[in-house]
Structure 1
Amino acid sequence: DFRNSIIVMTSNVGGELIKRHMTIGFAAHIDGERKQQTEYEKMKENVLGEVKKDQRFRPEFLNRIDAQVVFHALSEGHIRQIVDLMLNQVVASLKEKNVTLEVTDGARDFLGKKGYDPDFGARPLRRTIQNLVEDPLSEALLRGEFLAGDTVIVDCVEEKIVMRPLVKDAV
């Protein structure tokens, strides 16, 4: 039964307009929430106009869509939240193996910068975290560098992700 379904479709139509708007917005350092909203409304109007003009979607198709949403551009804070959500999945997975993972702010910031692409948004973040954190951590666990009960610190040193065990003070 498909009657009570919501279908979410994404497109990069108007992506250039959004990217240009982001550049202008950052350069101008927009002050105030009201002005930001006004700028967003202008950009949204331009993007929706581009969707109608674009030949990829026939008018018959567009008329069957109930709503079109133009998302706000991701801020550094949004990227950081996405990084945190993805890392929380890694933390939960390791917790099942009795290994604690602590990620420094520097590592979180580095992963966000490395994994964010203005053209693709946050999509590359998953791959970045997998390549720079999950895969090396899995290999280290297999080599026995970290054991059950250990706390692993993930940090960024000289633009590289490094992992080390938390050294517990001997009492």
Structure 2
Amino acid sequence: TEIVRRKPYCVLLLDEIEKAHPDTFNLLLQILDDGQLTDAKGRKVNFKNTIIIMTSNIGSPHLLDGVTAEGVITEGARAAVMAELRREFRPEFLNRVDDVVLFKPLSRSEIKTIIELLVIDLRKRLVDRHIDLELTDAARDFIAKTAYDPVYGARPLKRYLQHQLETKIGRALLAGTIGEGMTVTVGVDAGGLTVATG
């Protein structure tokens, strides 16, 4: 409550709310109902200007299977997710939630966009050494196919790039095979990602 007390105009993200302790829901009921919460020191903390976003993985298997080729969530999938939410959360809690937004799994092009953003971040870190980084289309496709898991979303992409690409580049830097002014080209072969200089 201290953060909200100091900065009442904020966004509060509660990730994977279904894993929260049951007492948390009692506190949330008070916040969602009254717009305030009394903290341990007896102070009333105003939440009326706080946007609360809660995420959940409840029903995600229905969303993985319930998306049309055009990327639209089917009514059947939507109904199945809502049914699971009603089984998991008390009605008095759900009735205080303004809206439930369902997200479809990422498309192949969205995955490639995320990969590109992660590569741009890596490029920025290499610019101090005057090293450029290029990925072949085959490498992008390989990363998208190998590292993306619809169940876990895009998080595994970042870990994969850290373990499989950044580690290789780091070792090559330490070995001296990659140096200042070089362009590093990331490709793919039967063993996975390859790093070559040019």
Deviation at 1:66, TM superposition (A): 2.4
Question: Which entry has the higher C-alpha Rg, 1 or 2?
Answer: 2
Alignment of 1:146-165 (within 5 A): 146-165=178-197
Spell out structure 1 runs of 4+ moving beyond 6 A. none
Deviation at 1:125, TM superposition (A): 0.7
Q: CA RMSD in A?
A: 1.9
Deviation at 1:120, TM superposition (A): 1.1
* Alignment deviations for residues 66-103 of structure 1 (CA, whole Å, 9 cap, x no partner): 22210122111111111111111001111122111111
- Residue 138 of structure 2 corresponds to residue 106 of structure 1: yes
- Residue 84 of structure 2 corresponds to residue 50 of structure 1: yes
Provide closer, same or farther for how the CA distance between residues 44 and 2 of structure 1 changes in structure 2, counting only shifts above 3 A.
farther
**Structure 2 equivalent of residue 19 of structure 1:** 64
Q: Structure 1 unaligned runs (5+)? A: 167-171
TM-score by length of 2: 0.70
- Where 1:84 maps in the other structure, the secondary structure is helix
> What amino acid is aligned across from residue 20 of structure 1 in structure 2?
D
- Residue 167 of structure 2 corresponds to residue 135 of structure 1: yes
Deviation at 1:159, TM superposition (A): 4.8
> What amino acid is aligned across from residue 79 of structure 2 in structure 1?
E
* Matched-pair contact (CA < 8 Å) for 2:132–2:184: yes
* Matched-pair contact (CA < 8 Å) for 2:63–2:77: yes
Using the TM superposition, name which of 6-15 and 75-84 deviates more. 6-15
* Matched-pair contact (CA < 8 Å) for 1:13–1:51: yes
> What amino acid is aligned across from residue 16 of structure 1 in structure 2?
P
> What amino acid is aligned across from residue 52 of structure 2 in structure 1?
I
* Matched-pair contact (CA < 8 Å) for 2:115–2:157: yes
Deviation at 1:58, TM superposition (A): 2.5
Identity percentage over the alignment? 37
Q: Residue 2 of structure 1: which of 3, 8, 12 is its match?
A: 8
- Where 1:71 maps in the other structure, the secondary structure is coil
The CA distance in 2 between the partners of 1:93 and 1:134, in whole Å, is 11
Alignment of 1:80-91 (within 5 A): 80-91=112-123
- Where 1:130 maps in the other structure, the secondary structure is helix
* Alignment deviations for residues 102-140 of structure 1 (CA, whole Å, 9 cap, x no partner): 111111111111111122122211110111111111111
**Structure 1 equivalent of residue 19 of structure 2:** none
The CA distance in 2 between the partners of 1:141 and 1:7, in whole Å, is 45
**Structure 2 equivalent of residue 63 of structure 1:** 95
Q: Structure 2 unaligned runs (5+)? A: 1-6, 12-50
**Structure 1 equivalent of residue 30 of structure 2:** none
**Structure 2 equivalent of residue 124 of structure 1:** 156
More contact order relative to length (CA 8 Å, sep ≥ 6): 1
